[in-house]
Amino acid sequence: MRLVSEAPSQVIADLTPVAAYQMPAIDVAGLLAEDEARGVKAGAYRYGAEIPVEFDVKQMSTVTALPGGGSVYRMQIDSPGAHSLALSFSRFALPEGAGLWIHAADGIDSYGAFGAHNNKADGLFSIIPMPDDHIIVEYVEPGFVASPGELVIDMVVHGYRDVLGARKSDSYAGGSGGCNVDVNCSVGDPWQDQIRSVARTFSGGFLCTGALINNSANDGKQLFWTANHCGSMNNATFLFNYESSGCGSGGAPTNQSVQGSVLLANNSSVDYRLVRITGNIPDNYDVYFMGWNRGTANPPNTFSVHHPSGDRKKISFDDDTATKSGTDWRIAEWDLGVTEGGSSGSPLFDHNGRFIGQLCCGQAACGFPFNDYYGRFDLAWNNVNSELDPSGSGSMTLDGFDPDNPGGGSGTWTGLGGGLAGVLGSAPSLSGNGSMNPGTTTTLTMTGSLPNVTGTLVVGVSQANVPLKGGILIPSPTALVPVTTTIAGSLGLSSPWPAGIPPMTSIWYQIWVSDFGAPQGFAATNGLRGDTP
């Protein structure tokens, strides 16, 4: 979704007056009493009253013919007193060239344009809450289309809780308890990657938290993990980066969302739900796919990232060891921050920042930071391994994936062998840093050689099986890829696998340096093995 302002109503002054439809009155006090009676952590967090409707947009709108063909359809939906209004479509099929916008009636906010690129196989669609109690639906259809568009609204969600705060000042404190901590406070600095994976979900009148999760192919497949009790995500919207830009202050974007998903796996006893988001996540959302740990060892400390009471993204820490409680991890006491309703489905991370479970339930709140429970990821593994480990690696842990840095880190570098000394009396030393994944840069640094000499970089997929001084890397003549260059300090490679060598888990390097004063006429560095993260 993107925020735009070029709908016809915003550039054409004489459109036909809009048709208005008023929703029935909402018993807010009764809804709040129901929420209190069932407990805010009992199930998904309810923020809005679901009002069933049957609004065929093209049939019930006022229509304005456009010069040159095409029509503008507009209808207004009023639900007085709502903090926000959201829409669900039972039929959404737009032809190429058509566009749909949702406007706040006061003209401050506008979502769109939605178009044929938002069509889904199931014909469903939904739109995140708009911060107004009067909204305008505006649909534009060209004069000549292969088939007419279909737009049928089946639900209006009257937001009786303020879960946006989009129009508040930069000092807006949000709706969660005062003990909660914004993710962009200094305590969140080491975990910004994990923070980028977390999103707030809207499904009907309910919201939860969840996170994108990586798989062993490291391919950015849009897998999303949340709690099973958050309900069907088929027609949900996923809102990313709803967080204060600073610590306790700053704006929070509300327009970085995608829509729709398909169910891959779920279970009620461990309370997890794995889906694949069907809407394309734009690059500028800058998302991250969290890594995971399916081990059973109790982590020495943990943290969680979540949307308590639907508020801007927060981070909570437990400095003590998490313990097992049946199918759950138990957080006995939070040391900083807590969780609340709306945090359901949020990820629990171990001390290495890897996902180990999702929030299912608990009692914690500001003033009582005790007893939260997270369904254990290790118990879900047998049902999700085909999705999360498609390569069949059998790994117990997996690091996260950053689409902007596919290497995912620096990898591991290991020196092998002693090399061959030159006239300086010692062998040159070779070290490496940077990613070991395709499409990234690996930097090799050589020290201890004569200055400004030429050398040959030898690259292989296994260590030499012949004693050529320091383990020179000759797996076979056909896989040997020498690169001749002038060696002067560091050598940057645009890809760690030169042509002729397929991507591997490990790769070996060595540099032979011209040194005519040495008995053999050259010196050689130690061997160097690089392993992918």
Count CA atoms within 13 Å of residue 410 on its CB side: 9
Contact 485, 457 (CB under 8 A): yes
Which residues, at least 6 apart from 71, have a Cβ–Cβ distance to it below 8 Å? 63, 64, 65, 140, 141, 143
Of 84, 176, 309, 344, the active-site residue reads 344
Q: What are phi and psi of 186, to 5 degrees?
A: -60, -30
Cis peptide before 7 (omega within 30 of 0): no
What is the gyration radius of the CA atoms in the chain, in angstroms?
28
Residue 229 designated active-site: yes
Residue from 271, 318, 378, 515 carrying the catalytic annotation? 271
Angle 506-511-517 from CA coordinates, rounded to 5°: 160
| C-alpha distance from residue 278 to each of 152, 193, 219, 260 (Å) | 20, 22, 15, 5
Measured between alpha carbons, how far is residue 112 from residues 128, 296, 315, 421 in Å? 11, 45, 31, 67
Q: How far apart are CA 497 and CA 440, in angstroms?
A: 10
Dihedral of the CA atoms 511, 515, 521, 526 (nearest 10)?
A: -30
- Torsion angles phi and psi, residue 327, rounded to 5: -90, 5
Q: What is the DSSP letter of 491?
A: E
* Tokens matching residue 507: 């790769």
Secondary structure class of 516 (helix, strand, coil):
coil
- In the sheet that holds 125-130, the strands lie side by side as 48-56, 150-159, 84-93, 125-130
On whether the CB atoms of residues 316 and 183 are closer than 8 A, the answer is: no
Residue type, position 214, single letter: N
How far apart are the two ends of the chain, measured CA to CA in Å? 33
Separation CA 508–CA 462 (nearest Å)? 6
Which of these is catalytic: 229, 307, 350, 399? 229
3-state SS of 365-433 is ECCECEEEEEEEHHHHHHHHHHHHCCCCCCCCEECCEECCECCCCCCEEEEECCCECCCCCCCCEEEEE
Q: Is-catalytic flag, 271?
A: yes
Other beta carbons within 10 Å of 502: 8
Residues marked active site are found at 229, 271, 344
